[in-house]
Structure 1
Amino acid sequence: MGDLISDQQLTWLCDNWSTVLFLNSNEQGDSYLALASSKADQFAGSDISELSRWLAERENGWSFGYLGYDLKNQLEDLDSNNADRLQMPDALFFIPEILIRFSQLGQMEVVYGEFSGFGQTKGNFKNEFRPIRWKETKDEYIKNVVKLKEHIQQGDIYEVNYCHEFYSEDIDIDPCQLYTCVNEITKAPFGVFLKHEEFYILCSSPERFVKKEGSRIISQPMKGTVKRGDNQIDDLKLKNYLEDNQKERSENVMIVDLVRNDLSKVAKRNTVQVDELCRVYPFKTVYQMISTVSAELDDGQSNINAILACFPMGSMTGAPKVRSMELIEKYESTKRGVYSGSIGYINDRGDFDFNVVIRSLHFNSSNRYLSAMVGGAITSKSDPEMEYEETRIKANALILAIEKCTK
């Protein structure tokens, strides 16, 4: 099956709607297209209390949006002072004026709203390549990993997710074409195309943050990455390598413990359980080690309380969570923004599904700044050189998409 929505159709949607959100499962579940004009009912800001109130007043309908990583500052005594060239809102939620569901087989259903079909814009947009630069040199990255390992050896933390940025300035690029390029390469199950005014997020995430069906809530932390092989034999060797890698397993187990603790804050007593531990899943460009933790949501807990109890997700912070986030702020040089936040929906039954915003490109069309962050878990067993190489593996698909789109 081809793409559910072509880049020309996305361009037409972006020309006609202030907010366009396409949650693309790539045939691994339902996909959703949510459209809203500038007059739509929406929340954009950084006040969690206001957001909670906004969502509570609209709990009987559909809402779509994202939570940015830096909402952490309202959940804990933290701050964010690193450079921010993107200037995206810390949180955005909106009520779609048109909502479309695509089944796993690609059948389209208009959930509500008047939709007469896709138009197409055949623009003459010429993408122009601009150099891709890394915010930190390899030496700077490795020095910071060494310093973080010293914190671990001193008992300050057990594990920390450390990320760095690559970017392109003054770039002329069509984000709709770029998203199509990214998605063709990755085919990730939690893909996202989001346009809100001048802001774009092009995400190829393989990771679910948290999902609720009925009273059951699950989280699927992902720690452990290896590239796919060039042939069947090499591919199997790499899969087996990840399955048997004790460092990767220990990283995953530490985050599972953190997620269990987070879920216990909103779960019925004695219902938190680990359904799956350190299973290796295949994706188009990488293998990932994923665990599944579930619980029964306690009576009286709101959806936003359940989500925020686990936010930011442990797989993108480290353990203990608060101290890890303090060190992230100290050693990283770019404000994370929506990266390592979460994008998803809450439906009219009160169920929800949110991803982890990783493997993503972020674009401000006003200042023509294109940015991405990649990282990994640093533990006492981390080899700084190998950690650096792992971040490059995670960046490869995004850089390839930029190069492909600007040829």
Structure 2
Amino acid sequence: MRAIFSKKITNALVFKKQLLIWANQYREVVFLDSNQYHQKYSSYDAVLAVDAFTSIKTDYENAFQDLYQYQSQAKDWLFGYLSYDLKNDTEALHSNNFDGLEFPDLFFFQPKKLFLIKDNEVEIQYLRLCDDEIETDFNAIISTELCDFAILREITINQRISKENYLSKVSKMLEHIHRGDIYEANFCMEFFAENAQIEPLEIYQKLNAISDSPFAVYFKNNVHYLLSASPERYLRKEGNKVISQPIKGTARRSFDLEQDKQLKFDLAQNEKERSENIMIVDLVRNDLSHTATKGSVQVEELCAIYTFKQVHQMISTVVSEVENTTSPIEILRTTFPMGSMTGAPKISAMQIIETLEETKRGLYSGAVGYFTPNGDFDFNVVIRSILYNSKKQYLSFSVGSAITSQAFPENEYEECLLKAKAMFEVLS
């Protein structure tokens, strides 16, 4: 049981910054921020969960079954992540690529302390064992002083796959496509730094400030950090409704308003980008059909263009209805990993991806989010993100693009660099 209190806040932007600085004292932190981005499906402007009362941490083997048991028994708010390599639990797949980060494949925790921000009000939910700390904590939060960014120590960022090697690998991917093995695959490459000494909270704040993305995340589990400026939702459940919003299609922004408008228009008309998006929409429709009631899978919005600080994106919205008896874990299990980060057909694409990529994806292209006590959930896609192991001082970020028969390797490489721009900027 939780004690629930509501508090008025005078400035939500300042309060969020104070809240996150205060939260960083805890071993487990999940902060989710919509950055006031206007979106149809949203419950809160921001959410903070800290301090694990219970938790689950496991590798991929039987991970979804273990999560089902944990979520069914807890019947409370749970926050955490699903790493990309849970694919090895749902399919006969494996991951032998290099892993410098060493994150567990799955991690969720039941927070002692929870803050739900909407407009100028924060709902505070504490477990009964610590509800006597609410007033003290709230006063500490609103008294927290905001600090300037520290000077970043020099970080040498390396590229796991050279440009020449990248072009060669994309050409091999195209051979698979022309042979009919797959129609599309998302091919990713890693940028990394060793002996990297950073202050994760400051890097997150800088990344969020230049991105203003609707699915931003600051995640901390002891020595493991995720600093995410993700624009993409993986999956959301509201009652009996399930919502997926895959992104496929990217264009740069311009400071010139007329040119920016033209870039947005050109993206909407780009046949290659539209075909990429429609292929993934078909894949998502198929994934949702595993748990949907008959005839309920619908495309609400096809190839719409959304604008973010760094890029324009092409996003579709696919929805379905599920029975009351359908487990939320089953909905996740039958749709994971998300189609936008795999390809079509999904299993074949994942097999080929594994042979051509040189880094284990881990949490990159996985999902971070939460379950509510009544079994609803909301998860993002972990892209445009920096991952960090503070014990090993290993920092990593990956970017990718969708390879189809119309792809030109050089253009795909440039798209990857465009997506990496924000991460390079905050680390330079």
TM-score (norm 2): 0.90
Report what 1:22 is aligned to.
31
Q: What's the CA shift for 1:13?
A: 2.3
Report what 1:86 is aligned to.
101
1:56 aligns with 2:81: no
Indicate the RMSD between aligned Cα atoms, in angstroms: 1.7
Instruction: Summarize deviations over 1:157-185 as a string: whole Å, max 9, x none.
Output: 00000000001111111000000000000
Q: How far apart, CA to CA, are the structure 1 residues paired with 2:146 and 2:108?
A: 27
Instruction: Summarize deviations over 1:301-334 as a string: whole Å, max 9, x none.
Output: 1001011111000000000000100111100000
Q: What's the CA shift for 1:121?
A: 9.0
Q: How far apart, CA to CA, are the structure 2 residues paired with 1:243 and 1:126?
A: 40
Over 3 Å counting, the alpha-carbon distance change for 1:161 and 1:221 in structure 2 is same
Instruction: Note the residue ranges of structure 2 that are not aligned, 5 or more in a row.
Output: 1-11
Instruction: Summarize deviations over 1:324-383 as a string: whole Å, max 9, x none.
Output: 001111000000001100111111222111111100000000011110000010000001
Report what 1:191 is aligned to.
216
SS of the residue aligned with 2:111?
coil
Over 3 Å counting, the alpha-carbon distance change for 1:224 and 1:269 in structure 2 is same
Q: What's the CA shift for 1:108?
A: 2.1
Amino acid at match of 1:291: S
| Aligned residue pairs, count | 397
Over 3 Å counting, the alpha-carbon distance change for 1:152 and 1:124 in structure 2 is closer
Q: How far apart, CA to CA, are the structure 2 residues paired with 1:21 and 1:242?
A: 34
Which of 16, 20, 28 aligns to 1:10? It is 20
Instruction: Summarize deviations over 1:74-126 as a string: whole Å, max 9, x none.
Output: 100000000001000101111010000111x2432213344322245979976
Which of 89, 107, 116 aligns to 1:101? It is 116
Q: How far apart, CA to CA, are the structure 2 residues paired with 1:177 and 1:27?
A: 20
Which of 222, 226, 229 aligns to 2:251? It is 226
- Of residues 41-50 and 355-364 in structure 1, the stretch that sits farther from structure 2 once superposed is 41-50
1:144 aligns with 2:169: yes
SS of the residue aligned with 1:269?
coil
Over 3 Å counting, the alpha-carbon distance change for 1:181 and 1:125 in structure 2 is closer
Report what 1:240 is aligned to.
265
Task: Note if contact 1:9-1:121 (Cα within 8 Å) is conserved in structure 2.
Answer: no
Report what 1:375 is aligned to.
400
Task: Note if contact 2:197-2:393 (Cα within 8 Å) is conserved in structure 1.
Answer: yes
Task: Note if contact 1:228-1:287 (Cα within 8 Å) is conserved in structure 2.
Answer: yes
Which of 127, 145, 153 aligns to 1:128? It is 153
Report what 1:400 is aligned to.
425
Task: Note if contact 2:149-2:202 (Cα within 8 Å) is conserved in structure 1.
Answer: no
Instruction: Summarize deviations over 1:267-291 as a string: whole Å, max 9, x none.
Output: 0011111111000111111110000
Report what 2:86 is aligned to.
71
Task: Note if contact 1:27-1:106 (Cα within 8 Å) is conserved in structure 2.
Answer: no
Task: Note if contact 2:236-2:379 (Cα within 8 Å) is conserved in structure 1.
Answer: yes
Q: What's the CA shift for 1:401?
A: 1.1
Instruction: Summarize deviations over 1:246-278 as a string: whole Å, max 9, x none.
Output: 000000000000000000000001111111100
Instruction: Note the residue ranges of structure 1 that are not aligned, 5 or more in a row.
Output: none
TM-score (norm 1): 0.94
Q: What's the CA shift for 1:11?
A: 4.5
Which of 160, 184, 202 aligns to 1:177? It is 202
Q: How far apart, CA to CA, are the structure 1 residues paired with 2:14 and 2:342?
A: 33
